[in-house]
Structure 1
Amino acid sequence: MTITQPDLSVFETLESEVRSYCRGWPTVFDRAQGSRMYDEDGHEYLDFFAGAGSLNYGHNNPVLKRALIDYIERDGVTHGLDMSTTAKRAFLESFQNTILRPRDLPYKVMFPGPTGTNAVEAALKLARKVKGRESIVSFTNAFHGMSLGSLAVTGNSFKRAGAGIPLVHGTPMPFDNYLDGKTPDFIWFERLLEDSGSGLNQPAAVIVETVQGEGGINVARAEWLRQLADVCKRWDMLLIVDDIQMGCGRTGGFFSFEEAGIVPDIVTVSKSISGYGLPFALTLFKPELDVWEPGEHNGTFRGNNPAFVTAAAALDAYWADGQMEKQTLARGEQVEQALKAIRAEHPGETVEYRGRGLVWGLEFRDKERAGKVAHRAFELGLLIETSGPESEVVKLLPALTITQEELDEGLRTLARAVRETA
């Protein structure tokens, strides 16, 4: 695909140097529909990025768009803080009836600020308030957000350095298979808990991603997650599952922890909960943990009513009959087979492929290769990003609504990009 040099002058002169994704995709996007994006010159791109997991149902999903347009046209409430509105009621009823009750999950629903990191901040504050302790345990290569509390439980040194101050009250432990299976699970963690001289203050909670997205698509085994839940129970620590990127069906079930058969004390949800890319976040927790005072954690945009509308429409359209989970798992098998073929074609250049549902990663021995593959893929009309501590993993995050044909097209383009960067 031939790409003419776009006019990026206003972005480069006026916008902060902090911008990132636009550097890897140097074009000006104009419109998007489903799994396709188009730049202002009409070039078409197949999207295997999906708004970093915020667009599980694709761009401008027609069902959600219609619900949103109808709501706006009738002058539905746009901004409501935490006031009761018909849009909020419709979402809560749909969420309870479609998601919580069928899974026998007793959670109370909290609307923090409309971002993932705010949902995490609320979870950490609540855990500390309930237990009366400060320490939080996280895991190697974890990513939980860019505000200070979330950064304190994030592993990436580059992101942590941006805080500019010490990040305290967080202790990292080895994630599943971090030690290549050479050490029994949780032996170090439990030894520290047992030893009054270890220097580890009794934690209030443990926060974990079942699949580490930014950390390199590191997949925790169901057995490991069950053991972690047991450790938390025995040592009086709350278990927080950060489902911001891996929830809303990304791994198959609506919640990524369903496969393990555990019930976390607190769950954070954001990104695709609105269904349409609108800012929206939830902090879910067991009823006995609801010890908040009114207004103790708030935010001006915690009541994003247009997001309530699209979220309810997404739940009703895609989660009432159980078909979305089956389709996602089937699409996941399609991705796995394609990555298996790429690995077989390039055994000395690739380390492994790994994933669940429709989140997958392909790791390269040459840590700069993943970036080269992503760049070549962009030239060929495919949007993919990299992840991992050294950006050594090509990350695939297509919309859950992607067709088999689109998925196959993107996987063929990926295979070509790997071949052409050898």
Structure 2
Amino acid sequence: METPKMETIKSLESKVRSYSRSFPTVFTKSKGHKMWDEEGNEYIDFFSGAGALNYGHNNDVMKSELVDYISNDGVTHSLDMATEKRAEFLQTLNDVILKPRNLDYRVMFPGPTGTNTVESALKLARKYTGRTDIISFTNGFHGMTIGSLSVTGNAAKRNGAGIPLTNVVHMPYDDFMDGKTDTLDYLEQFLENGGSGVDIPAGIILETVQGEGGINAARFEWLQRVEDICKRWGILLIVDDVQAGIGRTGTFFSFEEAGITPDVVCLSKSLSGYGSPLAITLFRPELDIWGPGEHNGTFRGNNHAFVTATAALNHYWKDNAFEQSIKKKSKRTHEFLQELTKKYPEMKGTVCGRGLMVGISSEVEGFSEKVAEESFNKGLVMETAGPDDEVFKLFPPLTIDEEGLEKGLSIIEESIKKLVKEPVTQ
């Protein structure tokens, strides 16, 4: 029976809502890797706000800093006026993240969400090169505004635009085709052949691990070759690290282990550390050809997010201890998922992803959706991914303790065990 609050949501909110359908309860409290609903039921969170809560819910490190700042009447809204907390965030980002990685980037605040940083990256690539087209990849997802949708592969999301999405060429992502065709040989043929109909683009945009597209992880050598292609043709390489970044794949940036240096990097989601909206676009200094106010947004000066982001960087990223803890949990999770595919061959599953951005892709139609649904019934919040929701997707907070991780993994196995005994019916 639905509660009055859920009835209110269903009767007054638009049909466009989605997560309240997947997780049909009214949440009232959250802490760390746990959430509670209005009836007192406890849930383990393997969703993490779709990657916006990598440090968990109401993280104490950030909460105390934010509460103090608010209590002392710190500036809340400031557009891009200079503020103390803006300067502190920029300095900390440079000292803790960029310099130790030998990355020389200018920082742009385009607006508060992932699609804002993608829009600014596309605009900058076109402005700098004087070219119009962008190359993106199959199953990529980059946001819901018109420019970001144009480089997104998902047909259902693209159809929502209501207008033609132009000036983009979609190429096959790593291992998208038959497993025999080198997808970058295919791409280069289009660039090299004057009869291909594909102009040299302003930029190539990609996710090193595709989130919404099915937790597809590109091989490091594939990423390295994309970078080489960009350098040879004078194309800007844009890495969308909105979901895969901020430690989700094991390192702060998802491209670090591949040894590449993108021209432009898009960050948002867990950048603020606390779930507050914050996005930045990073780019090489020589690309900084913007005129004042040429790209802007009312909420590009979220000082509350500056406070929590600075606290997160100082607490978690000044040494490699946090990275090592992520890699340890990632190893355990990956091994567990591999075991599941062997123990339950009925689901015809394949492990996908990297770091704590992982899942199992099932060839059995509807199976992954049933796993997520059954897991929710047993107290685990987890979503699906892929064009046909064929992947159940594990996104636990990076800060989750061993007990919480093991409990969540056991719920997934219990759910699979039940479903293989009770075959999925359509």
Flag whether TM exceeds 0.5 (same fold): yes
- Asked whether the equivalents of residues 176 and 183 of structure 2 are also in contact (C-alpha less than 8 Å), the reply is no
- Using the TM superposition, give the Cα deviation of residue 348 of structure 1 relative to its aligned residue in structure 2, in angstroms: 3.3
1:240 corresponds to: 238
1:164 corresponds to: 162
In 2: Cα distance, 1:134 partner to 1:254 partner: 31
Counterpart of 2:399 in structure 1: which amino acid? T
In 2: Cα distance, 1:411 partner to 1:188 partner: 39
SS of the equivalent of 1:268 reads strand
- 1:266-311 deviation digits (Å, cap 9, x = unpaired): 0000000000000000000000000000000000000000000000
1:181 corresponds to: 179
- Which of 391, 394, 397 pairs up with 1:396? 394
Q: Does 1:88 align with 2:86?
A: yes
Counterpart of 2:201 in structure 1: which amino acid? P
Q: Does 1:219 align with 2:223?
A: no
- 1:160-218 deviation digits (Å, cap 9, x = unpaired): 00000000011111111112431124111111111111111210000000000100000
Counterpart of 1:55 in structure 2: which amino acid? L
Q: Does 1:229 align with 2:242?
A: no
1:6 corresponds to: 3
In 2: Cα distance, 1:245 partner to 1:366 partner: 27
2:423 corresponds to: none
Write out the 4+ residue segments of structure 1 that deviate beyond 6 Å after TM superposition. Answer: none
1:258 corresponds to: 256
1:104 corresponds to: 102
Ranges in structure 1 where 5+ consecutive residues have no aligned partner: none
1:419 corresponds to: 417
In 2: Cα distance, 1:315 partner to 1:156 partner: 33
- 1:39-87 deviation digits (Å, cap 9, x = unpaired): 0111100000000000000000001000000000110000010001001
Ranges in structure 2 where 5+ consecutive residues have no aligned partner: 421-426
In 2: Cα distance, 1:80 partner to 1:43 partner: 40
- Using the TM superposition, give the Cα deviation of residue 231 of structure 1 relative to its aligned residue in structure 2, in angstroms: 0.5
Moved more, 65-74 or 182-191: 182-191
In 2: Cα distance, 1:184 partner to 1:26 partner: 43
- Asked whether the equivalents of residues 185 and 224 of structure 1 are also in contact (C-alpha less than 8 Å), the reply is no
Question: Counterparts in 2 of 1:300-311, with a 5 A limit?
Answer: 300-311=298-309
Question: Counterparts in 2 of 1:253-402, with a 5 A limit?
Answer: 253-402=251-400
In 2: Cα distance, 1:260 partner to 1:313 partner: 28
- Which of 29, 42, 46 pairs up with 2:27? 29
SS of the equivalent of 2:28 reads strand
TM-score by length of 1: 0.98
In 1: Cα distance, 2:46 partner to 2:85 partner: 31
Give the alignment's Cα RMSD to 1 decimal.
0.8
SS of the equivalent of 2:266 reads strand
In 2: Cα distance, 1:180 partner to 1:214 partner: 21
- Using the TM superposition, give the Cα deviation of residue 318 of structure 1 relative to its aligned residue in structure 2, in angstroms: 0.3
- Which of 27, 40, 43 pairs up with 2:41? 43
2:424 corresponds to: none
In 2: Cα distance, 1:360 partner to 1:311 partner: 25
SS of the equivalent of 1:291 reads coil
- 1:376-397 deviation digits (Å, cap 9, x = unpaired): 0000000000000000100000
- 1:342-378 deviation digits (Å, cap 9, x = unpaired): 1111113223012211110111112311111111000
SS of the equivalent of 1:82 reads coil
In 1: Cα distance, 2:278 partner to 2:54 partner: 14
Query: What is the percent sequence identity of the aligned residues?
Result: 55
SS of the equivalent of 2:345 reads coil
In 2: Cα distance, 1:309 partner to 1:417 partner: 40
Counterpart of 1:213 in structure 2: which amino acid? G
Moved more, 185-194 or 399-408: 185-194
